[in-house]
Structure 1
Amino acid sequence: MNSDTDNVRDELDFEFLGNRWGQPYTVQTHLYAHGKGDGEQRVNLWFDPSAAFHTYSILWNHHHVVFSVDDVPIRVYKNNEVRGIPYPKSQSMGVYSTLWEADDWATRGGLEKIDWSKAPFYAYYTAFDIEGCSVPGPAACASNPSNWWEAPAYQELDALQAKR
Structure 2
Amino acid sequence: MKIYSSLWNADDWATRGGLEKTDWSKAPFVASYRSFHVDGCEASVNARFCATQGKRWWDQREFQDLDGLQYRRMSWVRQKYTIYNYCTDRSRYPTMPSECKMDRDV
- Short-chain TM bin: 0.3 to 0.5
Larger helix fraction of residues: 2
Report the TM-score when normalising by structure 1: 0.28
Report the TM-score when normalising by structure 2: 0.37
Larger strand fraction of residues: 1
